[in-house]
A = this chain, B = another copy of it.
């Protein structure tokens, strides 16, 4: 019996319509691992600053798949042969590239799990789905891990000009309302080409690439590293650290079974690789476990935990100061003493009411992979050399800022 065609059209505020062209991709979208992404916000705590930024990792993954289909169409127009199987494989990569993200991903990685990052979990999840569907993801996995012979396919999936970035910059700026972050994704894709199995951008696209890099930088400072978001993250990290500490002391904490598992165990890489338990619990975690627990903890008897949770829930966030060097020890001491007195807690407990973070960003990093510009005469140049504006010294300069977050009594 012929399987019914599951071709679907999904409405997307950013790109209009997204086609799901066939059953293979449709079935990935229907997988519980993928549906979980609908319960994880792409920008985590940014909605404290930008209330519109509610979009999910599921939307981003669909959008990246959509841009991939446009990129493939463009490269075919340029005369490059890309097989149907390759095309489906890179689209599957985009659907699955973020599958291993947990709720409030970066915060979680620094508190609940140790020594495991979301890239590894993504790979494990992809491998697990692959086993379930009899190896249909083999080529996608090869491309994802850069073991497929045609290198430009991996570059479309993961490089400084991949479909991941093109979607998230477009989508994050759209939803946050920071319209200056909008990049010309459509125009950049129209400029893509392949040269010696490398993804390149045609020379007339230089200005669009410059704009893309500047927009990316703007999004970093204006959205991703917005000081209020960092304050919220720092607060959430302290909450989870405190909860974990209490759990370590066998204090009773409300938690869903999945969250409970990560609170009451020291989960490391070994837990994921030795059995399926860790991954199974991880696959049940989403934003709701964390938010729901924090609300309940806001009435916990531990004053540190409950105070932080209540403040977090009611959006009374840490104050933040930014600077070019770490906060002075004296200032930290003064505040800690205030907290000790005010909450009647130990010096160690008082540290939960503050946090520090060094944030840094380089706009473009030519070490690993490059954005290559193709000229009409066939020569290829790195964008850092091709652009007379964005010269290499500027582009690769790492900018570092110190964020000091603390409770203002």
A→B interface (CB under 8 Å): 7, 9-14, 16-17, 30, 32, 35, 38-39, 41, 47, 50-52, 54-56, 58-59, 62, 77, 174-180, 182-184, 186-187, 190, 207-208, 210-211, 214-215, 217-218, 221-222, 254, 256-258, 284, 286-289, 291-292, 295-296, 299, 313-316, 363, 388-391, 394, 397, 399
Contacts and interface: CB of A to CB of B under 8 A. Distances in A.
Contacts of A179: 182, 184, 187
B12 A52 contact: yes
A280 B374 CA distance: 46
Given A51-B10, A313-B35, A180 B187 contact: yes
A177 B11 contact: yes
Nearest to A214: B214
User: Which 6 A-B residue pairings sit nearest by Cβ, starting from the closest?
Assistant: A11-B177, A54-B54, A288-B288, A288-B291, A180-B184, A207-B218
28 contacts: A9-B190, A12-B51, A12-B177, A16-B186, A30-B315, A32-B313, A39-B291, A51-B58, A52-B55, A54-B54, A54-B56, A178-B184, A180-B208, A180-B211, A207-B217, A210-B217, A211-B215, A211-B218, A254-B256, A256-B292, A257-B296, A286-B291, A286-B295, A289-B292, A291-B292, A389-B397, A390-B394, A394-B394
A56 B17 CA distance: 23
A254 B59 CA distance: 30
A59 B52 contact: yes
Interface centre among A17, A32, A288, A292 (most CB of B within 10 A): A292
Count the copies: 4
Contacts of A56: 47, 51, 54
Contacts of A207: 180, 217-218, 221-222
A47 B13 CA distance: 12
A45 to B, nearest CB: 11
Contacts of A62: 51
A280 to B, nearest CB: 11
A7 B74 CA distance: 13
A399 B388 CA distance: 8
A277 to B, nearest CB: 14
Interface centre among A58, A295, A399 (most CB of B within 10 A): A295
A314 B13 CA distance: 23
B47 A177 contact: no
Given A211-B180, A389-B214, A38 B51 contact: yes
Contacts of A214: 210-211, 214, 389
Nearest to A212: B180
Contact of A295 (B47, B284, B399): B284
Contacts of A315: 30, 35, 38
B222 A218 contact: no
A113 to B, nearest CB: 19
